[in-house]
Amino acid sequence: MTDEADLDQRHAEKMAKRKAARAKIIATKTIEKGLLIVHTGLGKGKSTAAFGLVMRCLGHGLKVGIIQFTKGAWTSGERAVIDRFPDLATIKVMGEGFTWETQDRQRDLAAARAAWAAAQEMMADPTLHLVLLDELNIVLRYDYLDVVDVVAGLQARRADLHVVATGRNAKPELIEAADLVTDMTLVKHPFRSGVKAQRGIEF
Amino acid sequence: MTDEADLDQRHAEKMAKRKAARAKIIATKTIEKGLLIVHTGLGKGKSTAAFGLVMRCLGHGLKVGIIQFTKGAWTSGERAVIDRFPDLATIKVMGEGFTWETQDRQRDLAAARAAWAAAQEMMADPTLHLVLLDELNIVLRYDYLDVVDVVAGLQARRADLHVVATGRNAKPELIEAADLVTDMTLVKHPFRSGVKAQRGIEF
């Protein structure tokens, strides 16, 4: 047998084993439940991946609700796409901007409370498949909402509703309550080398 | 002054300083260039965030090319959305499935080479704003393509073309060449607790 043919054969054997192992694992996964998903970390992709989840649901014809806790998080590119699904997607922009834009703690507090009320209303809508709480973590971080109340509210949702919460510095209480947590870890960022935010990438 | 009012005032001062600091930093960011973006790591969100970037471009009316190095990576949800933009998005599914599905190294090798040829052709298209090389890292990891050739091909693209490469285990050579690298780090995954893949979330 040539070296190349030997390599091919060993590859086939290894992959057959891997396939069998995977099938065995997958067979044990039988639970269906609404997940509490958290995207946190200092890297990029937290809101973008959540937006991707939203789009995936819309592609399946599933209804989605979105609360934006800060105005700045999403811009025209996302909105233009979401607006193609007026029957399936509802967006509520509740925050007025990042907290260093408003510089007004009382206004931020009121906006956060109104956003959480809207989120609870959305979570009570039995037709929704997924609710996205974009930049929830930022209002929790500034203690504009009480994390214990928020976690209790999330846990009180119906059993098959998926919720995604995004934002850096997720609180330990939220991570503890979540089913799926991904930390978008910054490895390398071009902003550090003088590259500015660009259309289609950052906004 | 009450405690609350004092807190508000200190908040306003702190945030005004933060806003000024941010404005100063942003003013130094003047370079526009096509970015080489890598989403890697063992966590979720690598392909989903890339899909989100694609959708953001489509929302802006910008053209996008997608090469899928493995068939399994995207499913009906994403496809249904992308298909709403037939004039802007081109998808080529080049791989036949994950390598443990085909179990055939020669077939995988041929598929990887054909996918890379298609990727190079796409990168030569001057009308595209972004090219997504989904699961490129998996074929590099199995050495189905030579990483030095691939990095050279990526670096030879035109200066304003954005490229996103996804997949776990990104090679150091690719990370070195990239402008923006995010490691989607697994913090918590429900698959480990017997929860199965669910519509709108995993597919």
CATH C-level class of A33-193: alpha beta
Chain centroid to CA B68: 12
What is the reported pTM? Answer: 0.85
Instruction: Render pLDDT for A10-28 as a digit per residue (tens, 0 to 9).
Output: 888 888 888 888 788 777 7
Cβ–Cβ under 8 Å, residues A20 and A47: no
A88: chain B residues, CB-CB within 8 Å: none
Residue B79's pLDDT is 87
- Helix, strand or coil for residue B43? coil
| pLDDT above 90 for B50 | yes
Please give the Cα distance from B194 to B192 (Å, whole number): 6
Name the residue with tokens 């989840």. Answer: A53
For B169-186, the DSSP string reads S--HHHHHH-SEEEEEEE
Domain boundary assignment for chain A: 1-30, 33-193
Give the nearest chain B residue to A201 (CA atoms). Answer: B53
Q: How many CB atoms lie within 10 A of CB B109?
A: 17
Contact between A58 and B81 using a beta-carbon 8 Å cutoff:
yes
Please give the Cα distance from B190 to B192 (Å, whole number): 5
Out of B56, B60, B201, name the one closest to residue A35 (CB).
B201
Cβ partners under 8 Å of residue A154, min gap 6: A36, A123, A163, A165, A177
Q: Which residues pair with A66 in a beta bridge?
A: A91, A132
A15: chain B residues, CB-CB within 8 Å: 99-100, 102-103
Q: Would the CA dihedral through A53, B34, B114, A8 be positive or negative?
A: negative
Out of A45, A60, A103, name the one closest to residue B19 (CB).
A103
Is the ipTM of this structure higher than 0.90? Answer: no
Cβ–Cβ under 8 Å, residues A190 and B179: yes
Give the nearest chain A residue to B54 (CA atoms). Answer: A200
**pLDDT band per the 50, 70, 90 thresholds, residue A190:** confident
